Amino acid sequence: MFHVFAALSEFIRELIVAGTREGLAAARARVGGRPTVVSPDLRRAPFWLTW
Q: Which of 34, 37, 14 is nearest to 24 (CA)?
A: 34
CA 31, 34, 35, 39 torsion: positive or negative?
negative
Task: Please state, in angstroms and rounded to a whole number, the distance separating the CA atoms of residues 28 and 33.
Answer: 5
Confidence at 36, pLDDT banded by 50, 70, 90: confident
How confident is the model at residue 49, as a pLDDT?
65
How confident is the model at residue 14, as a pLDDT?
97
Task: Please state, in angstroms and rounded to a whole number, the distance separating the CA atoms of residues 7 and 13.
Answer: 10
Task: Please state, in angstroms and rounded to a whole number, the distance separating the CA atoms of residues 16 and 22.
Answer: 10
- For the chain, the domains span 1-31
- Asked if the model's pLDDT at residue 20 lies above 90, the reply is yes
Confidence at 22, pLDDT banded by 50, 70, 90: very high
